[in-house]
Amino acid sequence: MPLPFLAADRDFGTTASDAALPHAGIDQWRRPYRLGPQRVAISALALLLAAYLLISALIIAVAGTVGAAAATLLLAGCVIAFALRVLRMGIWVSPRGLRRVGLLSTKTLRWREIERVSTVQQPVRWLGLPRTVQGQAVHIEPRRGEPLAPLLTDHNADFLTRADAFARASDVLEAWAAEHRH
Protein backbone atom coordinates (compact mmCIF):
# COMPACT_ATOMS: atom_id res chain seq x y z
CA MET A 1 0.00 0.00 0.00
CA PRO A 2 1.63 3.29 -1.07
CA LEU A 3 1.68 6.04 1.54
CA PRO A 4 0.85 9.62 0.47
CA PHE A 5 3.81 11.34 2.16
CA LEU A 6 6.85 12.68 0.32
CA ALA A 7 9.72 10.28 -0.20
CA ALA A 8 12.83 10.29 -2.37
CA ASP A 9 11.65 7.33 -4.44
CA ARG A 10 8.16 8.68 -5.08
CA ASP A 11 7.15 9.34 -8.70
CA PHE A 12 5.63 12.82 -8.86
CA GLY A 13 2.86 13.46 -11.34
CA THR A 14 2.30 16.64 -13.28
CA THR A 15 -1.19 17.47 -12.08
CA ALA A 16 -1.84 20.07 -9.42
CA SER A 17 -3.06 17.46 -6.94
CA ASP A 18 0.23 15.55 -7.32
CA ALA A 19 2.44 18.61 -6.73
CA ALA A 20 5.46 17.98 -4.52
CA LEU A 21 4.95 20.85 -2.12
CA PRO A 22 2.23 23.44 -1.76
CA HIS A 23 3.37 27.00 -2.41
CA ALA A 24 1.98 30.46 -1.90
CA GLY A 25 0.07 32.03 -4.75
CA ILE A 26 1.76 34.61 -6.92
CA ASP A 27 -0.09 37.52 -5.28
CA GLN A 28 0.66 36.51 -1.69
CA TRP A 29 2.82 38.67 0.57
CA ARG A 30 6.03 36.82 1.44
CA ARG A 31 9.10 37.55 3.55
CA PRO A 32 12.27 37.34 1.41
CA TYR A 33 14.37 36.04 4.31
CA ARG A 34 14.12 33.77 7.35
CA LEU A 35 13.49 35.06 10.84
CA GLY A 36 16.50 35.59 13.03
CA PRO A 37 17.05 33.54 16.18
CA GLN A 38 16.76 36.60 18.43
CA ARG A 39 13.24 37.38 17.20
CA VAL A 40 12.17 33.74 17.61
CA ALA A 41 13.65 33.62 21.14
CA ILE A 42 11.77 36.78 22.17
CA SER A 43 8.50 35.31 20.92
CA ALA A 44 9.15 31.95 22.58
CA LEU A 45 9.81 33.62 25.92
CA ALA A 46 6.68 35.74 25.55
CA LEU A 47 4.59 32.65 24.79
CA LEU A 48 6.09 30.89 27.81
CA LEU A 49 5.08 33.86 29.97
CA ALA A 50 1.59 33.72 28.43
CA ALA A 51 1.31 30.03 29.34
CA TYR A 52 2.12 30.84 32.96
CA LEU A 53 -0.42 33.67 32.90
CA LEU A 54 -3.12 31.36 31.53
CA ILE A 55 -2.44 28.80 34.25
CA SER A 56 -2.52 31.61 36.82
CA ALA A 57 -5.85 32.81 35.46
CA LEU A 58 -7.26 29.31 35.85
CA ILE A 59 -6.02 29.03 39.44
CA ILE A 60 -7.36 32.49 40.28
CA ALA A 61 -10.75 31.65 38.73
CA VAL A 62 -10.98 28.40 40.73
CA ALA A 63 -10.08 30.31 43.90
CA GLY A 64 -13.13 32.49 43.35
CA THR A 65 -11.93 35.92 42.20
CA VAL A 66 -13.44 36.22 38.72
CA GLY A 67 -12.37 39.85 38.19
CA ALA A 68 -8.71 39.09 38.86
CA ALA A 69 -8.91 35.99 36.65
CA ALA A 70 -10.37 38.07 33.82
CA ALA A 71 -7.60 40.66 34.20
CA THR A 72 -4.93 37.92 34.13
CA LEU A 73 -6.60 36.34 31.08
CA LEU A 74 -6.62 39.72 29.32
CA LEU A 75 -2.93 40.20 30.12
CA ALA A 76 -2.16 36.73 28.72
CA GLY A 77 -4.04 37.64 25.54
CA CYS A 78 -1.98 40.82 25.18
CA VAL A 79 1.26 38.87 25.64
CA ILE A 80 0.18 36.34 22.99
CA ALA A 81 -0.69 39.17 20.58
CA PHE A 82 2.73 40.72 21.26
CA ALA A 83 4.52 37.43 20.54
CA LEU A 84 2.66 36.94 17.27
CA ARG A 85 3.31 40.52 16.18
CA VAL A 86 7.04 40.14 16.90
CA LEU A 87 7.06 37.11 14.60
CA ARG A 88 5.18 39.06 11.91
CA MET A 89 7.52 42.08 12.02
CA GLY A 90 9.81 42.63 9.06
CA ILE A 91 9.75 43.30 5.35
CA TRP A 92 7.25 41.61 3.07
CA VAL A 93 7.11 41.77 -0.75
CA SER A 94 4.57 40.93 -3.43
CA PRO A 95 4.02 42.00 -7.02
CA ARG A 96 1.85 44.80 -5.63
CA GLY A 97 4.55 46.42 -3.50
CA LEU A 98 6.72 46.38 -0.42
CA ARG A 99 5.33 46.24 3.12
CA ARG A 100 7.16 47.09 6.34
CA VAL A 101 5.47 45.56 9.38
CA GLY A 102 6.46 47.08 12.71
CA LEU A 103 5.36 46.30 16.23
CA LEU A 104 2.55 48.87 16.21
CA SER A 105 2.20 49.92 12.57
CA THR A 106 2.33 48.68 9.00
CA LYS A 107 3.35 50.76 5.98
CA THR A 108 2.86 49.61 2.39
CA LEU A 109 4.44 51.20 -0.68
CA ARG A 110 3.49 50.28 -4.23
CA TRP A 111 6.43 49.52 -6.51
CA ARG A 112 5.59 52.53 -8.70
CA GLU A 113 6.05 54.80 -5.64
CA ILE A 114 9.65 53.58 -5.17
CA GLU A 115 12.50 55.16 -7.11
CA ARG A 116 15.30 52.90 -5.93
CA VAL A 117 16.17 50.21 -3.36
CA SER A 118 19.87 50.09 -2.50
CA THR A 119 22.29 48.77 0.11
CA VAL A 120 24.56 51.39 1.69
CA GLN A 121 27.36 51.39 4.25
CA GLN A 122 26.48 53.63 7.22
CA PRO A 123 26.17 53.71 11.01
CA VAL A 124 23.21 51.53 12.04
CA ARG A 125 21.43 50.89 15.31
CA TRP A 126 22.39 47.70 17.09
CA LEU A 127 19.21 45.62 17.74
CA GLY A 128 17.15 48.81 17.45
CA LEU A 129 18.79 50.30 20.54
CA PRO A 130 20.28 53.83 20.63
CA ARG A 131 23.83 52.45 20.29
CA THR A 132 25.13 52.71 16.72
CA VAL A 133 27.78 50.62 14.99
CA GLN A 134 29.18 50.65 11.47
CA GLY A 135 27.16 48.38 9.22
CA GLN A 136 25.02 48.05 6.13
CA ALA A 137 21.43 49.09 5.57
CA VAL A 138 18.86 48.66 2.81
CA HIS A 139 17.35 52.03 1.89
CA ILE A 140 14.28 53.01 -0.11
CA GLU A 141 14.25 56.20 -2.12
CA PRO A 142 10.61 57.08 -2.81
CA ARG A 143 9.70 58.98 -5.99
CA ARG A 144 8.16 61.75 -3.88
CA GLY A 145 8.60 62.75 -0.28
CA GLU A 146 11.31 62.26 2.27
CA PRO A 147 13.65 59.26 2.35
CA LEU A 148 12.41 56.48 4.60
CA ALA A 149 14.22 54.94 7.55
CA PRO A 150 16.37 51.92 6.62
CA LEU A 151 14.34 48.83 5.77
CA LEU A 152 16.84 46.29 7.03
CA THR A 153 20.21 46.49 8.71
CA ASP A 154 22.85 43.86 9.26
CA HIS A 155 22.62 44.50 13.02
CA ASN A 156 18.87 44.07 13.59
CA ALA A 157 17.18 41.08 15.24
CA ASP A 158 16.99 39.09 12.00
CA PHE A 159 20.58 39.46 10.81
CA LEU A 160 22.77 40.17 13.85
CA THR A 161 25.19 37.26 13.42
CA ARG A 162 24.16 36.28 9.89
CA ALA A 163 25.96 38.51 7.38
CA ASP A 164 25.37 36.08 4.50
CA ALA A 165 21.61 36.07 5.18
CA PHE A 166 21.61 39.89 5.10
CA ALA A 167 23.45 39.89 1.78
CA ARG A 168 20.93 37.45 0.29
CA ALA A 169 17.94 39.41 1.65
CA SER A 170 19.25 42.74 0.34
CA ASP A 171 19.92 41.19 -3.08
CA VAL A 172 16.41 39.74 -3.18
CA LEU A 173 14.83 43.08 -2.22
CA GLU A 174 16.85 44.93 -4.87
CA ALA A 175 15.87 42.30 -7.45
CA TRP A 176 12.17 42.56 -6.56
CA ALA A 177 12.37 46.34 -6.86
CA ALA A 178 14.15 46.19 -10.23
CA GLU A 179 11.66 43.64 -11.58
CA HIS A 180 8.41 45.22 -10.43
CA ARG A 181 9.00 48.96 -10.43
CA HIS A 182 7.85 50.76 -13.59
What integer is the mean pLDDT of 163-169?
A: 88
Among the listed residues 126, 130, 35, the one whose alpha carbon sits nearest the alpha carbon of residue 83: 35
Q: Are 13 and 154 in contact (CB under 8 A)?
A: no
Say whether pLDDT at 115 is over 80. yes
Say whether pLDDT at 182 is over 70. no
pTM score, whole prediction: 0.76
Q: What is the pLDDT of residue 25?
A: 62
DSSP conformation class of 171? H
Q: Considering the chain, what is the average pLDDT of its residues?
A: 83
What integer is the mean pLDDT of 100-129?
A: 86
Q: Are 127 and 41 in contact (CB under 8 A)?
A: no
14-30: pLDDT as tens digits: 444 444 445 556 678 99
- 70 or 162, which is more confident? 70
